[in-house]
Amino acid sequence: MNATMHILFACPHHDPDAWVPRLAAAMPGCRISVWDPDGPPSGADIALVWRPPAELFKHETGLTTLFNLGAGVDALLKMPEIPSHVRIVRLEDAGMAVQMAEYALYALLRVSRDFEAFDHAQARQHWDTREGSRPADWPVGVLGLGQVGLRVAQTLADFGYPVAGWSRSPRDVPGVESFAGVAALPAFLARTRFLVNVLPLTPDTVGILNRDTLSRLLPGAHLVNVGRGEHLVEDDLVQMLEEGEIAGATLDVFHTEPLPRDHPFWHDARVHVTPHIAARTLRDESIAQIAGKVAQLQRGEAISGVVERSRGY
């Protein structure tokens, strides 16, 4: 890779005026440019991308590394236009883990403390002094114990909730009961009333939130999905809500986004819908992380966060 690296900002969904000057300040030894689909090839080594068009990779054939401005790389892995030799690097946390933990805690407190009922009571000017529940009544299960899942699990455990985590391989997390592997999934679900999904989307995890898995949860269970919409079999959840097999759900991601206006999730009071905002890309934190990794590449060092395509993350 060139000693003076050329970095291409190729994010149609982000304002280059807000990013490029800061990128240049963080990486003064690099050339920073903005992708112009109508211009000649830039000759860049590295591209910063988020939902890039396929034309980028037909146009910019000299790329060796992609930095994805987000934690999820499933969309990139579905693009056959990206050559196999091009390294894909995901953001590692960069401020997203704490946002996910905040979202999960918000959802947990909203449900376990019955805050929604008090909102309804206020609308009726009714002084509702119902009895509250205890953290022990809401055993939490976190699906996925990567950097984000670890932060979610530890945060909820710090608030006194009994927390377990499920992952592909065993993890040792203080204060969190660990379940690992497909064989352990039923036992993990059977002790969980509040399920938080933060798994990466891979062929093995598509549709993992289905009737079979959700029906194994404790009675009165609540689902939080902040992973990907494709993790959830939406029709199964709709039917389970109608049949009273699950109490409710807090959903931030969907098969189709924006969520269609006629989708039943909009109209079900047991479902809390948010528009894919659980964790946003934080510009300054992301730039700092990318600049550090570019400096490592310039020194010929290995970097973390490189996606293993065969595993999907």
**How far is CA 242 from its chain centroid?**
27
Exactly one of 14, 59, 228, 272 is catalytic; which is it?
A: 228
Question: What gap in Å lies between CA 170 and CA 172, rounded to an integer?
Answer: 7
Question: What gap in Å lies between CA 53 and CA 277, rounded to an integer?
Answer: 22
Q: 283 catalytic, yes or no?
A: no
Q: 276 catalytic, yes or no?
A: yes
Please tell me whether residue 8 adopts helix, strand or coil conformation: strand
| 105 backbone φψ class: left, alpha, beta (φ>0; ψ -120 to 50) | alpha
Kindly report the CA angle at 144 between 139 and 145, in degrees rounded to 5? 90
What six digits make up the tokens of 271? Answer: 């479902």
Phi, psi of 158 (to 5 degrees): -65, -25
Phi, psi of 32 (to 5 degrees): -115, 130
Exactly one of 171, 211, 276, 283 is catalytic; which is it?
A: 276
Half-sphere exposure of 201 (CA within 13 A, CB side): 21
Question: What gap in Å lies between CA 233 and CA 235, rounded to an integer?
Answer: 6
Please tell me whether residue 305 adopts helix, strand or coil conformation: coil
Question: What gap in Å lies between CA 308 and CA 313, rounded to an integer?
Answer: 6
The closest alpha carbon to 49, from 40, 59, 98, 200, belongs to 59
Q: Residues near 233 by Cβ (< 8 Å), separated by ≥ 6? A: 207, 209, 210, 211
The residues assigned a catalytic role are 228, 276
